[in-house]
A and B are shown apart, each in its own frame.
Chain A
Amino acid sequence: MTVSAAEQIQLLFEILMSVDSHADIKVSAKKSLSLILRKLNCSAGGIFFVNLLSDESDVVKEIISIPQISINSFYLDSLETFKDKIRKTGWVDLQKSFPFCYNHENEGYCHILNLSDFGFILLIKNNGCFPDSFIKSLQPVFNKIGSIYNSMLKNETLLLNEERLRSIYENVNIGLFRISSAGNILMLNPAGRKILGINNDSDLGEMIITEFYKDPSFRDELIDVLETKKNIKGIRTNWKKKSGEFFPVNINVTAYYDDSGKIRYFEGSFEDITERVNFENNLKAAKENAEKSEKLKSDFLAQMSHEIRTPVNTILNYTSLLTIDKGTAGNQQNAFIYDSIENAVNRLLRTIDLVLNMSDIENNTYKAIFEEVHFERDVLRPIIQEFKSAADKKRLNLELISTDVSQKVYADKYTLVQIIVNLLDNSIKYTNKGKITLSIKDNKFSISDTGIGISEEYIPQLFQKFSQEETGYSRKFEGTGLGLSLVKKYCEINNAEISVESQKGIGTTFNIIFKQKNPFINEYKKQVLH
């Protein structure tokens, strides 16, 4: 094939002119590729963009192929072969071998030319191969085309970004502004206009921002700050709408300086925070009301504590007296009645104690007194003694295993006792046969029973207030559901960690670990020393 220099120049010119740099890259690629293929009598071809930033599978992206339908296997084979080459050799090194050509099973020739840094063009020719000299003469034109595509791609990306920014500017619901150092509004987005009540057709240039300040001197203060600090965020002030109505506003401003260091203009955002301020005010009022009612509740409970405990204790005392005489003065039926009254009143007292204690904890009115407590002697033994009869009634074996009889802990004795009382009370309540074992080893206290156990699903809720595994009328065991919640709070007061292991139908073990570094030690020592 002989092509004169003049013909080559004409061809190259036509091809170059076919790239419409104002069009969409795909439209332009299609137009120029069509012309290139037809002018060069190629049966198929493609223009490919090489995006080295993309992951390996997507490095080569097809911009356009011709024909669009039924691309032949030669074309596809050539493309795959070439993609492999890029993976193996790397795009930068491979470009040095451009342009190149190879024959495909005598079906035709595949020519690959560089499109500058844009990518490459693949030309399939099934009526002979381009001579070397000719294909080399084409390369500079394709480099030029590649450069044009490259700038088109950059422009498209730029336009896309601009479009996105424009869309944000137009659609965001906070005000965006640019204001000159003199205060003239240079730019204001639609949301900003809406907030300030400025019509879309109003001329912004004649508006000065100070006319929108409730107190115009506040702007001077802002500028003073911005002279030294480039931006200010989250400033709250009051602005005035075009209609004269005041509203609270939250402003973020950045100052832009000229070469001499003077402020050229300000850019930033503002938000009408009327709703937020109203909400905050409502919240504040609600908090104050809550605190007030909490105080009332505490006072009420303190009052109730006295008012309930006194008559209940009276009932309990007189019932005890009657119980003593039950053997002689009463018959079997009376004895049962007195027992029931005593049990019910004790239960009522425990419930009142729990409610009052929980109230103290929640109101932070509980005052802990830390001291060195002999755990076995001062806490466990008296409690075991107290609960022994209850355990005996259910024929439960109650035992204590202690490896260190002189074990002492720094703790608040009242809450420590309450922890053990509640846990032991629970164990007896939920165990119908077998035994309950209390053990101390080093800083760990455990209480195990052979009771009904706790299901795995319920364990996470175990220490929540008013929780019981079975609720409503179907529950088998009485109680408020406050006990374990209080135990956990009491453990926290004593810097102890409580955990539970349980198997449904087998039994439950609660473990309490008193931490070695007791934060209350210092406080304790302080109390002791003074």
Chain B
Amino acid sequence: MIVEFEKSSKIEDFANHLQVFEENPEVQSIFILSCDGNDYTAENINKVLRNCKKPIFGGVFPQIIYEDMQYEKGTVFCGLSEKTDVHIIPNLSLPDEDYDRHLEKTINGNVEAKTIFVFVDGFAKRIASFIESLFNIFGLETNYIGGGAGSLSMKQKSCLFSNMGLIKDSAIIVHSSLVSGIGVSHGWEKISGPLKVTESDRNRVISLDWESAFNVYKNIVESHSGEKFSDKNFFELSKGYPLGITTLSNEEIIRDPVSADKDGSMTCIGEVPQDSFVSIMNGKKNSIIRAAGNALFKAKNELPEGKNIDSVFFIDCISRVLFLEGDFSKELAMVQYPGKKVFGALTIGEIANNKKDYLEFYNKTSVIGVFAE
């Protein structure tokens, strides 16, 4: 795999770099991780993408990772030596959309993939339903890795790369023959007993234990932090207190509350199923940072015996950056592997599975994919 970083945020440099990859005979597909802060307009980038003859996939993220640094501008280009089929699943927010049917259409006889890349519009409303469909159709026989693209402005906009141009409210899935090992870890710890989600509507938690969700959440968080919620500080406080959906003998699935609504409900990144159980979580910086290292360790162990690492793909939640602030560089240091390229993105939600663990749309979680030579 050829991985290069283009530090310029200009469309001309993006186009030139893409052309270099397109002209490289060793490159059959191009995987792009780009920053929301780049100076592209939909019009000029679409022209470039549509002119490219090789399959393109990837996303625009709040920040990207290259080596041991995070960037708010620039682009990572990855050249794959295989020609991949890029499938687009549209309407990721439509309430009644049948994703099973869409996914069945993408099969095309290609179910032998070893790794499936999955990128979604991080602000689409039915990501968890889509992930469930992925599981229903393909099961856990394949490794999955990917995440939510989008902007920290919290506005839904075109954020997924395809040969059709930049698209939104969609998912992109790419079947690849790359051999990978996947590791997932978050480092958050429970501070409350399980609360029953008595009412929810997709990513909006309406009530917990039959009480207004925000009231329950507020009482626990205020009591633990010693701080009070005000009209303006919801995210400041909530970024340290995500919800954790209970799973069996695995780490909780983290859900990031991003706003409290007037009706007492809370909106999260990612769905919270009604009738599930959640805990309020909290993390200490050290345990959060260690979790990234733990994810790398798990990923390395999942790589089939005899395979050597070629590169490290790091999908990490942007909210961890917001939480760790200046200490995020320590998390990046945890995932470095001597002599190997590390690249990735800071995402709005993470997607992962290593054939064994819960295929999920995670929040506030570190996902590592190590690719074999």
- Which A residues have a C-beta under 8 Å from some C-beta of B? 1-3, 6-7, 10-11, 13-14, 17-18, 30, 34, 37-44, 66-72, 126-127
Q: Is the CB of A43 within 8 A of B248?
A: no
CB within 8 Å for A67 and B139 given contacts A34-B132, A43-B355: yes
A78 to chain B, nearest CB (A): 14
The 7 closest A-B CB pairs, nearest first, are A67-B139, A17-B275, A127-B356, A43-B140, A70-B111, A10-B277, A66-B136
Among A2, A7, A67, point to the contact of B246 (Cβ < 8 A): A7
User: Which residues of chain B in 321-373 are interfacial with respect to chain A, using CB atoms and an 8 Å cutoff?
Assistant: 355-360
Q: Which residue of B lies closest to A30 (CB)?
A: B136
Residues of A within 8 A of B276 (CB): 14
Cβ of B138 within 8 Å of any chain A Cβ, yes or no, is yes
Which chain A residues lie closer than 8 Å to B359 at the CB level? 38
Q: Please tell me if the beta carbons of B104 and A14 are within 8 angstroms of each other in the complex.
A: no
B189 to chain A, nearest CB (A): 16
B107 interface contact, C-beta 8 A: yes
Give the number of residues in B that approach A within 8 Å (Cβ atoms): 29
CB-based nearest A residue for B133: A34
CB distance from A144 to the nearest CB of B (A): 15
Counting residue pairs across A and B whose Cβ atoms lie within 8 Å, the total is: 83
Chain B positions within 8 Å of A14 at CB level: 273, 275-277
Contacts of B275 in A (CB 8 A): 13-14, 17-18
Set of chain A residues within 8 Å of B355, measured between Cβ atoms: 43, 126-127
Could you tell me if A41 and B137 are in contact, using CB atoms closer than 8 angstroms?
A: no
Q: Give the residue of A11, A17, A69 whose beta carbon is less than 8 angstroms from that of B137.
A: A69
Residues of chain B contacted by A10 (CB below 8 angstroms): 194, 246, 277
Known: A42-B140, A67-B138. 14 other contacts (CB 8 A): A2-B249, A7-B246, A14-B273, A14-B275, A14-B277, A17-B274, A17-B275, A34-B132, A34-B135, A68-B137, A69-B107, A69-B139, A70-B138, A126-B140
| Distance in angstroms between the alpha carbons of A7 and B246 in the assembled complex | 8
Q: Does B136 contact A67, Cβ atoms closer than 8 Å?
A: yes
Specify which of B100, B135, B137, B248 is in contact with A40 (CB 8 Å cutoff). Answer: B248
A396 shortest CB reach to chain B, Å: 84
Smallest CB gap from A70: residue in B: B111
Q: Are B248 and A68 in contact (CB under 8 A)?
A: no
Residue from the set B250, B355, B356 with the largest chain A CB neighbour count within 10 Å: B356
Contacts of A3 in B (CB 8 A): 248-249
Minimum CB–CB distance from B102 to chain A (whole Å) comes to 13
Q: Within the assembled complex, what's the spacing in Å between the Cα atoms of A6 and B246?
A: 11
By a beta-carbon cutoff of 8 Å, the part of chain B in contact with chain A is 100, 104, 107, 111, 132, 135-141, 194, 246-250, 273-277, 355-360
Q: Is the CB of A67 within 8 A of B249?
A: no
Cα of A71 to Cα of B273 in the assembled complex, Å:
27
List A contacts of B136 (CB < 8 A): 30, 34, 66-68
Interface SS of chain B: helix, strand, loop or mixed? loop
**Structural contact, B111 and A7, CB atoms closer than 8 A:** no
Does the CB pair B248–A44 fall under 8 Å? no
Task: Judge whether B358 and A69 touch: CB under 8 Å.
Answer: no
- Which chain A residue shows the least CB distance to B356? A127
A70 to B108, CA, bound (A): 12
Q: Are B248 and A67 in contact (CB under 8 A)?
A: no
Say which residue of A7, A18, A71 sits within 8 Å of B248 (CB atoms).
Answer: A7
B249 x A1 contact (CB < 8 A): yes
- In the bound complex, what is the Cα–Cα distance between A13 and B104 (angstroms)? 31
A43 and B141 contact, Cβ closer than 8 Å, known pairs A10-B194, A17-B275, A69-B107: yes
B135 CB contacts on chain A under 8 angstroms: 34, 37-38, 66-67
Whether A39 lies near B138 (C-beta < 8 A) is no
In the complex, chain B residues whose CB is within 8 Å of the CB of A71: 139
Q: Which residue of chain B has its CB nearest to the CB of A2? A: B249
- What are the residues of chain B within 8 A of A30 when measuring CB–CB? 136
A contact residues around B141 at 8 Å (CB): 43-44, 67, 70, 72
**Cβ of A18: which chain B residues have Cβ within 8 Å of it?**
275
Specify which chain B residues have a CB less than 8 angstroms from the CB of A126 in the assembled complex: 140, 355-356
Q: Report the minimal beta-carbon distance from A286 to chain B, rounded to whole angstroms.
A: 63
Contact of A68 among B100, B246, B273 (CB under 8 A): B100
- Ordered by A's residue number, 22 sampled pairs between the chains whose C-beta atoms are within 8 Å are A2-B249, A6-B194, A10-B246, A14-B275, A14-B277, A38-B359, A38-B360, A39-B248, A41-B250, A41-B356, A41-B358, A43-B139, A44-B140, A66-B136, A68-B100, A69-B139, A70-B138, A70-B139, A70-B141, A72-B141, A127-B355, A127-B357
Q: Are A69 and B248 in contact (CB under 8 A)?
A: no
A11: min CB distance to chain B, Å: 6
Q: Shortest Cβ distance from A394 into chain B, in angstroms?
A: 85
Query: Residue of A at shortest CB range from B277?
Result: A10
How distant is the Cα of A10 from the Cα of B277 in the complex, in angstroms? 7
* Complex: chain B residue closest to A6, CB-CB: B194
Q: Given that A69-B111, A70-B111, A70-B141 are contacting pairs, would A38 and B358 also be in contact in the complex, using a CB cutoff of 8 Å? A: yes
Complex Cα gap A66–B247 (Å): 19
CA distance A439 to B247 in the complex (A): 103
Which residue among B107, B136, B249 has the maximum number of chain A CB atoms within 10 Å of its CB?
A: B136
| Chain A, Cβ-Cβ closest to B247 | A39
Chain B neighbourhood of A40, CB < 8 A: 248
A483 CB, min distance to chain B CBs, angstroms: 77
What is the CB-to-nearest-CB distance from B133 to chain A, in angstroms, rounded to a whole number? 9
B246 touches A41 (CB 8 A): no
Closest residue of B by beta carbon distance from A16: B275
Q: What is the CA–CA distance of A126 and B139 in the complex, to the nearest angstrom? A: 12
Closest B residue by C-beta to A42: B140
Residues of B within 8 A of A1 (CB): 249
